[in-house]
Amino acid sequence: MSTVIVWFRRDLRLADNPALTEAARRHERVVALYVHAPGEEGEWAPGAASRWWLHHSLEALDASLARQGGRLEILRGRSIDGLRAAIEATGAAAVYFNRLYEPKAIERDKSVRRALEGDGIEVKSFNAALWVEPWDVATKQDEPYRVFTPFWRNARTRIDEIEVLPEPPLRLPQERYLRDGPLEVADLGLLPKRDWARGFAGWTPGEKGAHELLALFADDAVGHYVEGRDLPARHGTSRLSPHLHWGEISPAQVAAGLRSHAARRPKAADIEPYLRQLGWREFAHHLLYHFPRTPKENFNPKFDAFHWAKPDAHALRRWKKGHTGIPIVDAGMRELWATGWMHNRVRMLVASLLTKNLRQHWVLGEKWFWDTLVDADLANNAMGWQWVAGSGADAAPYFRIFNPVAQSEKFDPEGAYIRRWVPELAKAPGRLVHAPWEDETFLESSGYPPPIVDLKASRDSALMAYQSMRGGR
Ligand code: FAD
C-alpha cells in the first residue's frame, strides 16, 4: 500500500489544498503531519498573537481530519528530523507540501527536499497560497515588478481561470504511527501563559471560520467595499487576513465564493476593488521573493542616508500602549492589543506617527506588529511599513505625511471608533474627540494624556530630515 506524507505548514485547510488533493489521488494512504520548528524561521518565528492563532488553527485542522476518520500527527524539532521519523514509522515513499515564499522557509524547504530525495523519497511541492507565484510574472524586460499597477494589470489576466479544488476524500491511517513523541496541539505551548488574549474571542481560526467570515462579507460589506473599507468604525472589510496568512482559505476560494454569492443576487456587487486589494498581497509576496532583504533593509537604498531620530524607548512604549495622546492612533494601538488586528487605514496612521512624527525606524514598528498581529505576515508587514515610511517599492511619497486629526475627522467623523477603544474620550464633545488638547480643562478632566509630539513641528522636522537626505547632506 503506497503511503504519502502531507507536510502541513501554512496551508491549514483540506479544500483547495493541491498537495493534499494530489496525495489523495496518487497514493492509497495519506499521513497528515505538522512539524513545529519555529527556530527554522529565525527572528521571524511566529509572534505571540500568531502562536495563539496557530494553536487554534491546528486544533481546527485536527478536527477536520477527524471528520474523515484520521488525525493530525504533530511533532516538534527540526523539520527534516520530523519528516524522517514519520517516513520511518509509516513506510511512506513520498512527501508532498505547499510552497512558502519567505527567504528562511525557501532555504529550509530546499535543503529538506535535497535530503529526502537523497534518501530516495519522492518530494513534490505545490502552489496553494497565491494566484501567481513570484516567478510567474515579470516586466517586458524580464525583471520583477517594483510598481503595483503594472504588476496587477499583468497578474489580473491570470486569475479567473484558476480552478478551486474540493476537499478530497482521504484514506487516513487510524492507528498512531509515531511511537516517539506524537504530540497534542496543547503540548506545543503556543498559548500565552498570562491570558492577554481574551479579546481574541471574536475570531474563529480554521477553515470553517474562514468560510463563515467570507459568507458574512459576501452577504453585505463587499457591496460597499469602496466606501466602507476606509471607515474603521464599520465592519467594512473582510477581516480574512489571518485566515489567508495561515492558509485556511486561498485567494482563489475567496474570489470564487464572492462570485457565486454575486451570481445569486439580483444586483451583483462589483468585486473588482476587493480583488485588487488581494492583489496587494500578491505583490507583497512578489517583492519579498525577489528582494528578500526588505523585512530589514530599505527597499529604496536612498533611505539608508535618512537621519532617523535616536531610538526613544519611552516614546516607543507610549506608542505600543496606545498612550500617545493622539486619539485615532491610540484607538488603533489599543484595538491591536485587544484583538490582534487593526484596521488598514489606522495601520497607516499609527505607522506614520511612529516613522514620521516620532522619526523612529520603521523596523521598530514592524517588530511590534509582528508580535501582536494575528495576521502578521512577513511579506505584507514589510511592504506596509516600508510603504508608509516612504522607503518601499511604490511607496507613498515621504513628504505626504498623514495628519492624524484630519484623517480621523474624515474617516471616523463621529469618533465612534475612538470612543470604542479610548474610553477616556467616550464622552468627548464634538471635535474634541479628535483633538482633545484643544480644550485644556476637558483634557485634564478626561484623564487622557497630552499629545506626545506637536504634530505640526514634528511634521516640519521630518520634512527637513527628508530634504537633507535628498540633498545628500
Ligand atoms: P480587506 O480589506 O478585506 O482585504 C482583503 C485581503 O487583501 C486582506 O486580508 C489581505 O490579505 C489583502 N490586503 C488588503 N490590503 C492589503 C495591503 N495594503 N497590503 C497587503 N495585502 C493587503 N496585512 C497582513 O495580512 N499582515 C500584516 O502583517 C500586515 N501588516 C501591515 C502593516 C502596515 C504598516 C500596513 C499599513 C498594512 C499592513 N497589512 C498587513 C495590510 C492590511 O492592513 C491588512 O491586510 C488588512 O488590514 C487586513 O484586513 P482585511 O482582511 O479586513 O482586509
pLDDT (mean) for 210-237: 94
What does the pLDDT average to over 329-346? Answer: 98
SS (H, E, C) the chain: CCEEEEEECCCCCCCCCHHHHHHHHHCCEEEEEEEECHHHHHHHCCCHHHHHHHHHHHHHHHHHHHHCCCCEEEEECCHHHHHHHHHHHHCCCEEEEECCCCHHHHHHHHHHHHHHHHCCCEEEEECCCCCCCCCCCCCCCCCCCCCHHHHHHHHHCCCCCCCCCCCCCCCCCCCCCCCCCCCCHHHHCCCCCCCCCHHHHHCCCCHHHHHHHHHHHHHCHHHHHHHHCCCCCCCCCCCCHHHHHCCCCCHHHHHHHHHHHHHCCCCCCCCHHHHHHHHHHHHHHHHHHHCCCCCCCCCCHHHHHCCCCCCCHHHHHHHHHCCCCCHHHHHHHHHHHHHCCCCHHHHHHHHHHHHHHCCCCHHHHHHHHHHHCCCCCHHHHHHHHHHHHCCCCCCCCCCCCCCHHHHHHHHCCCCHHHHHHCHHHCCCCHHHHCCHHHCHHHHHHHCCCCCCCCHHHHHHHHHHHHHHHHCCC
Residue holding cell 516538534?
76
Q: Residue 438 Cα, ligand 1 centroid: separation in angstroms?
A: 33
| Ligand 1 centroid distance, CA of 343 (Å) | 8
Assign 269 a pLDDT band (cuts: 50, 70, 90).
confident
Distance from Cα 359 to the centre of ligand 1, integer Å: 23
Q: How far is the CA of 336 from the centre of ligand 1 (A)?
A: 13
Cell, residue 407? 484623517
Ligand 1 centroid, distance to 101 Cα (angstroms): 17
Give the residue-averaged pLDDT of 191-207.
Answer: 94
Question: Which residues make beta-bridge pairs with 74?
Answer: 34
Is there an atom of ligand 1 within 6 Å of 348 CB?
yes
Give the side-chain half-sphere CA count within 13 A for 48.
17
Q: Is 154 in the pocket of ligand 1 (CB under 6 A)?
A: no
Query: What is the reported pTM?
Result: 0.97
What region, left, alpha or beta, does residue 277 occupy, with left being phi > 0 and alpha being psi -120 to 50 degrees? Answer: alpha
Q: pLDDT band at residue 402, thresholds of 50, 70 and 90?
A: very high
Rounded to whole angstroms, what are the CA distances from 313 to 97, 316, 318, 360, 367?
A: 42, 5, 9, 10, 14
Q: Average model confidence (pLDDT) for the chain? A: 95
Ligand 1 contact via 385 beta carbon (within 6 Å): yes
- Look at residue 195 and tell me whether its pLDDT is greater than 90: no
Query: Please, is 202 exposed, middle or buried when counting C-beta atoms within 10 Å of its C-beta (0-12, 13-18, 19+)?
Result: exposed
pLDDT at position 279 over 50: yes
CA distance 384 to 168: 36
Mean pLDDT of 174-180: 69
Predicted local distance difference test score (pLDDT) of residue 472: 58
89-127 confidence digits (pLDDT tens) = 999 999 999 999 999 999 999 999 999 999 999 999 999
- 263 falls in which pLDDT band (50, 70, 90)? confident
To test the pocket of ligand 1, the residue of 344, 348, 378 to mutate (highest count of ligand atoms within 8 Å of its CB) is 344
For the residues 369-373, what does the mean pLDDT come to?
98
The finding on whether 351 has its CB within 6 A of some atom of ligand 1 is: yes
Q: What integer pLDDT is reported at residue 180 of this predicted model?
A: 64
Residue 179 pLDDT > 70, yes or no? no
* 344 CA distance to ligand 1 middle (Å): 6
Q: Which of 389, 164, 127 is nearest to 282 (CA)?
A: 127
Amino acid at 102: E
CB neighbourhood size of 154 (10 A): 16
Calculate how far, in angstroms, residue 464's C-alpha sits from the geometric centre of ligand 1.
30
> Is 237 near ligand 1, meaning CB less than 6 Å away?
yes
Q: Is the pLDDT of residue 470 over 50?
A: yes
Q: Determine the atom of ligand 1 nearest the C-alpha atom of 365.
A: 34
What distance in angstroms lies between residue 85's CA and the mean position of ligand 1's atoms? 38
Find out whether the beta carbon of 280 lies less than 6 Å from any atom of ligand 1: yes
If phi > 0 it is left, if psi is from -120 to 50 it is alpha, else beta; for residue 247 that is left
Distance CA 390, CA 466 (A): 10
Residue with CA nearest ligand 1 atom 17: 280
Ligand 1 within 6 A of CB of 366: no
